[in-house]
Amino acid sequence: MNRLFAYLHRQSRAKKYWLFEQLLRPAPETRILNVGASGATAGLADQFEAFYPHCGRIVGGGLVKADVRDYARSFPEVQAAVFDGCALPFADQAFDIVYSNAVLEHLPSWPAQQRFADEVRRVGRAWFVTTPNFWYPIEAHYHLPLWQFLPTRWQQRLARALGKTPYPPLRLLSRREMRRLFPESRVFGCRVTFYPETLIAVGGRG
């Protein structure tokens, strides 16, 4: 079963990268901010930077210093930095594109998710933000059916009982909520199975 999820994960990452290229058409000089960037040891090795041919134009990182160090080791060309996605230390429209993959759901409250989305839209001329689809029947982190409908405290207790390491509280989003967070954007589903596992918001200011 783990091999199946690993395969689907790779397929999903590849498809999201293809969509990124098709919809935003980055050039070699395009300046990109990756919010919540991960290195090869943070999961599977097929991160955005493993696909993208111009990593020297990427600034990436997040809140956890160990993750940022791993990111810098995995992709030496990038400019790695520690920063808070809800209070980005960059000027308005400092980047041509802001990219963020599967970070938004780790913010445990709607106000925090709003701050994150506002910051993405503030510092980017365009953006490409993905998050697991709340309505996909298999929860993306625990790989268990309908898990997202359980209260957080039940999730964490059951995870321990099943021998899994509990995640900090997660808040998965619906398509309607993504539209509220990114009102100037196209929001759509991306799938590699029978139903969209991922929601993507793509937008910009022309």
For the record, the structure tokens of 116 come out as 């994150």
Q: Rounded to the nearest 5°, which phi and psi values hold at 196?
A: -60, 120
Enclosing H/E stretch for 152: helix 152-161
Rounded-to-integer distance, Cα 36 and Cα 117, Å: 13
Return the H-helix or E-strand segment holding 98.
Answer: strand 95-101
* Closest among 50, 95, 99 to 71, alpha carbons compared: 50
Please report how many Cα atoms fall inside a 13 Å half-sphere around the Cα of residue 114, on the Cβ side: 4
**Hey, is 80 helix, strand or coil?**
strand
Tallying the residues shown for the chain, one arrives at 206
DSSP letter for 77, please.
T
Per the CB < 8 A criterion, the answer to whether 33 and 120 are in contact is no
- The predicted pLDDT at position 191 comes to 96
pLDDT at position 156: 87
Q: What is the pTM of this model?
A: 0.93
Q: Mean pLDDT for each consecutive 10-residue tract of the chain (206 residues)?
A: 81 95 98 92 71 97 94 96 98 98 96 99 98 95 88 88 88 98 97 96 86
**What type of residue is 142?**
Y
List domains and CATH numbers for the chain: 2-204 (3.40.50.150)
Check residue 19 and give its pLDDT: 98
pLDDT score of 41: 64
